Structure 1
Amino acid sequence: MLNGKVYAAFDPALLQTLLRNKTASFEPFVFDYAKKTFALKHETFAKVKVPGVYDEFTEAIHASFQVRHLHQMNVHFLGSIAAKLNNATIRADSINAGKETVANGRLHVKNLYLWCRDVMSLATTRSLYGDTDPFNRDPSLIEDMWYVPHPASTHR
Structure 2
Amino acid sequence: MPDLIAPELRVLFCGINPSVYSAVVGYHFARPGNRFWPALYASGFTDRLLAPHEQDELLVRGCGITNVVDRATVSADVLTAEELAEGGRRLEVKVRRYRPQCLAVLGIGAWRTAFKRPKASLGPQSEMLGSTRVWVLPNPSGLNAHYRPEALARLFQELRLAMALR
Q: TM-score, normalised by structure 1?
A: 0.25
Please tell me whether Structure 1 or Structure 2 has the larger radius of gyration of its CA atoms.
1
Q: Which has the higher strand share?
A: 2
Q: Which has the higher helix share?
A: 1
Q: TM-score, normalised by structure 2?
A: 0.24
| Larger RCO (CA within 8 A; separation ≥ 6) | 2
